[in-house]
Copies of this chain bind each other. A is one copy, B any other.
Amino acid sequence: MASELRQRRRVQFSETDAAGIVHFANYFRYFEDAEHALWREAGLSIHPEPSPIGWPRVSASCEYHRALKFEQEFEIAVEIREISRRTITYSGTITRDGERVATATWKIACVTKLPDGTMRSTDIPGEIADRLKPSGDAHRTSPLAPPTL
């Protein structure tokens, strides 16, 4: 079972742009890579083959606090914030030397792929829901709960 994951990585040259820093759209890839690693940590793949279901993004947002440059090392932390019947919401943080570089939140939806190529929202299969859980939110929203984590 997994709720969060941390990764270290290094900025690659093809991720930078002419401003000399990581192109802003690549942060979404950094967070997605860590999200998929979290699934692997839980013994799952977000895109097994074949599979009748898929996990498109419903929304994604990122705030940029500092820039990253070629070859800089940084740390990504992602955690599951909420699991509803049909969606999973994550938050993530990128830091470098302890300073916040970017913070993000995004939501994915469980869908069935229809024969005509479209997708329809569906319930998250039990064998997946059983292996992913929100990251200690109970404690934050309910300060009186005993610290069981």
- The interface of chain A, by Cβ under 8 A from chain B, is 12-14, 16-21, 23-26, 28-29, 32-33, 36, 40, 45-47, 49, 54, 56-64, 67, 69-71, 117-119
Contacts and interface: CB of A to CB of B under 8 A. Distances in A.
Q: Which 5 pairs from chain A and chain B are nearest by CB?
A: A61-B61, A16-B18, A24-B57, A25-B28, A59-B63
A17 B16 contact: yes
Contacts of A20: 18, 49, 117
A16 B46 CA distance: 14
Contacts of A29: 12, 14, 25
A85 to B, nearest CB: 19
30 contacts: A12-B29, A12-B32, A13-B23, A14-B23, A16-B18, A17-B17, A18-B18, A18-B47, A18-B70, A19-B47, A19-B56, A20-B49, A20-B117, A24-B57, A25-B26, A25-B28, A40-B71, A45-B71, A47-B70, A47-B71, A49-B117, A57-B64, A58-B63, A58-B64, A59-B61, A59-B62, A60-B62, A61-B61, A67-B118, A69-B117
